[in-house]
Structure 1
């Protein structure tokens, strides 16, 4: 029921928003008049902000971001930190925010590991899960009382020289109590893990849940990190199953926040650096959207979305954009 509701909500919202966005172009905030900027600032009460690429890069705050978030909080805006990163549990994020001078409480952190654990708890899931994920993901499952297996390295032993030679070893150790496969970011992804995930998912009653489908993260001019979406694509391909994705852009993010903070979509601002997760979440939920250029999206990509005849591309166009979040500070 939950899956059908989310899909119906998203399709209806996407269609409605595309109708409105058929001639839409993103507005560069500093180019607006003072009156228009004032109207924009007064138009939202709640701010949902992505973290990586918006507030910080790895362990370094992006210039001006802490001061901007603190100023928004001083103006009475309710701030939520909404990240597709599943490698940390919420308390870890509170500590990181504090270290980098962002005001944050645990209930204001909305991470995908928390979302998945929260969802499983809400449906009273009582089986084990096979986890492709990290220590932070496992901590959120521990907090929710969800049993799991699969955490950590699972490499192909050198003693096995053929795929057939590992068949009996893996098949004999498949846990009959597993009722779900969860996929988040896992630096220990391996062939044995893919074999196990696909094998568990051969049972149609086994749930398949992913934290997000963010594809990649360029970290320098020469280096690219594969994102969780790359791992999800591998499991999806070998299992022949499509996952329930609970992170951005799924409206479940807003549903989870709405359980303890009343969200008025028309008075909510989503800030992000990625079109197909952050901005699309805003489109799916009816939020205002602000794109910053300090993460994965370039101005060239934004122009392509604006000029595209493809409905799915047009949905990635934000209402507003900035070079960096810190540029908003002197406009407040």
Structure 2
């Protein structure tokens, strides 16, 4: 198999775009370590007056808190240039306020709760531990109560995901007017110790329970995030390129939204994965280019 199964983006061509979209973990940094050459490359783009955006599927913190990490790592990016599923959900709900007239049932964490409540002035409930009643006891499941009303269910990363939360979300979504929103469908989370199941695992369980209902996917590779970038940030797809390490999120996101795509070899997917994509049926997974930030002189 070829070391570079797709063309390498040349140093001359890499600066021919107006807008640059970057995945975060695995592309610009790994955990708390910047990828070699990434900071310098971003600095060079900004010095050339290019538009630079970090496009993350991480909905576990507000963009304000996310900016703290980006700044600490050394990337000169402003808060307005950090786009997460929370960004898109907030924009969507502001334009469709009937989804926030009541509360939001949130399968997520405190970061998502803070971001959504601050921007939308709505109560998000459901995060944290939600103990399951004794399933063997008399009265189950009549002992379960939906103590509040929800205008939508939002699914994000939740370390306390449980059968009881699945029951509650399923019953909220029995109302066809209740919105069904998913932050992302990432199968796993970046981690160098254990393989951690991601939001996509929780979303798959809820998808199955509420069939034939379909959710709105607000993260990569969903089209709502692409529409937001093109409409709100005035990006020209023909002059925009997406850099990422994952084929199923980053590269597919670029492909379905008409952006050029560039796979970086520093994260989740390998040369073997790219070769499998080339031989497979879903060509939206195949990147147009590959590139290493350390190649820039």
CA distance in 2, matches of 1:238, 1:110: 30
User: 2:107: which partner in 1?
Assistant: 132
Within 5 Å, give how 1:198-237 maps onto structure 2: 198-217=170-189, 219-220=191-192, 223-237=194-208
Matched, 1:329 2:287: no
Cα distance 1:101–1:148, how it changes in 2: closer, same or farther (>3 A)?
same
Query: What secondary structure does 1:303 align onto?
Result: helix
Matched, 1:319 2:292: no
Whether the 8 Å contact between 2:27 and 2:244 is mirrored in structure 1 is: yes
User: 2:245: which partner in 1?
Assistant: 273
Gaps of 5+ in 1: 1-24
Query: What secondary structure does 2:285 align onto?
Result: coil
User: 1:113: which partner in 2?
Assistant: 86
CA distance in 2, matches of 1:79, 1:115: 18
User: 1:102: which partner in 2?
Assistant: 75
CA distance in 2, matches of 1:82, 1:140: 16
**C-alpha deviation, 1:259, in angstroms:** 4.3
Whether the 8 Å contact between 1:129 and 1:147 is mirrored in structure 2 is: yes
Q: Deviations over 1:284-310 (max 9, x none)?
A: 1111111112111110010111122x1
Cα distance 1:262–1:281, how it changes in 2: closer, same or farther (>3 A)?
same
Q: Deviations over 1:244-268 (max 9, x none)?
A: 1011112221322334421110100
Query: What secondary structure does 1:262 align onto?
Result: coil
Q: Deviations over 1:135-174 (max 9, x none)?
A: 11111211222322102111325xx142764422323x34
User: 1:15: which partner in 2?
Assistant: none
TM-score normalised to structure 1 length: 0.82
Cα distance 1:292–1:164, how it changes in 2: closer, same or farther (>3 A)?
farther
User: 1:151: which partner in 2?
Assistant: 127
**Number of aligned positions between the proteins:** 289
**C-alpha deviation, 1:53, in angstroms:** 0.8
**C-alpha deviation, 1:42, in angstroms:** 3.9
Whether the 8 Å contact between 1:113 and 1:136 is mirrored in structure 2 is: no
Whether the 8 Å contact between 1:217 and 1:296 is mirrored in structure 2 is: no
**C-alpha deviation, 1:47, in angstroms:** 0.6
User: 1:167: which partner in 2?
Assistant: 141
CA distance in 1, matches of 2:197, 2:139: 29
Within 5 Å, give how 1:247-326 maps onto structure 2: 247-308=219-280, 310=281, 312=282, 314-322=283-291, 325-326=292-293
Query: What secondary structure does 1:170 align onto?
Result: coil
Gaps of 5+ in 2: none
Moved more, 200-209 or 83-92: 200-209
CA distance in 2, matches of 1:136, 1:113: 10
CA distance in 1, matches of 2:24, 2:138: 44
